[in-house]
Amino acid sequence: MKNPLRREELLMFFLALLIFLRYNFSWDLFAPLFFTPAPSVTGYLTNSRLGAWTYTLIHRKGLGITLYGLSPPTDPPLVELHRHSILRPLQR
């Protein structure tokens, strides 16, 4: 189980690099954004149990994909996925 997860995260990292190249984002932002903690860790400011719960809830990719799929097709989308996701609205 450990190796497939590592490969998945490595693939997501390279896809994030491709998105940076595709949309011409500033490379000055890449390192700060890469090392910025996810907002889901703010639950740890209260206590470790709430922190673990919020982190797990937000980092489940299935939840994000479901919310994205259920959101109405608007431009820009009403539901944005967290910064680790690579999903983007379809180009028309």
pLDDT one-digit tens code per residue, 44-83? 888 999 988 888 777 776 666 676 677 666 655 555 554 4
In the numeric block, which tokens belong to residue 16? 């994030």
**What are the φ/ψ torsions at residue 89 (nearest 5 degrees)?**
-65, 150
Taking only Cα atoms into account, the Rg of the chain, rounded to an integer number of angstroms, comes to 15
Instruction: Report the length, in residues, of the chain.
Output: 92
* pLDDT, position 73: 66
For the cut 50, the answer to whether the pLDDT of residue 36 exceeds it is yes
- Answer yes or no: pTM beyond 0.85: no
Peptide bond into 37 cis (omega under 30): no
Mean pLDDT, rounded, for 13-37? 84
